[in-house]
Amino acid sequence: MKYLVRDKLLAIGDDYWIEDEDGRHAFLVDGKALRFRDTLELEDPEGRVLLTLREKLFTLRDAMTLERDGVRLAVVRRKRLSLLRNHFRVTMAEGTELDVSGRILDREFKVEYEGELLALVSRQWYRIRETYAVDVVREDADAALLVALAVCVIRMAEKEREDREDGKGGEDGGSGG
């Protein structure tokens, strides 16, 4: 199942719908305004919160947590010691790990578990500018989680790029990438 995301830099307080491949509202990304840290909620069409994405504060490297019903489900971090600049590791609460790799800022990347493709994120399916799809490959996969991961890593990569452009350096000392 493909989910269509109309891409934009999400400012705190901005909300947008993610549609399924039939054009129906599937998820609402709710950017929570007036919070001390970045917080997004992924809601179903009825307004129930499925996942909460939170920026972790006071960490040596940027990280975001994904929570379901107030319980940590996963932590997302840029993968260390990788030749690929666009490589994230998702550590699930039970200890399993997902790999996210590809051209994150270009919206061309994949999410894998032990080499098995779970989701593919791409702009290639749509001619509409600033639009990409999250193609959840496995029918038994948690679609909300995979869509949230795509939103999360794009947000982290965008923020890192902004920090580099603002001269804050970031994790790589400010070198380009």
Q: What is the pLDDT of residues 97-143, one digit of tens each?
A: 999 999 998 899 999 999 999 999 998 876 666 789 999 999 899 99
At 35-61, the pLDDT tens digits run 445 788 999 999 999 999 988 765 546
pTM: 0.83
Work out the burial of residue 104: count CB atoms within 10 Å of its CB; fewer than 13 is exposed, 13-18 middle, 19 or more buried: buried
Strands 131-136 and 116-122: antiparallel
Give the largest Cα separation in the chain, rounded: 44
| Burial degree of 9 (CB within 10 A; 0-12, 13-18, 19+) | exposed
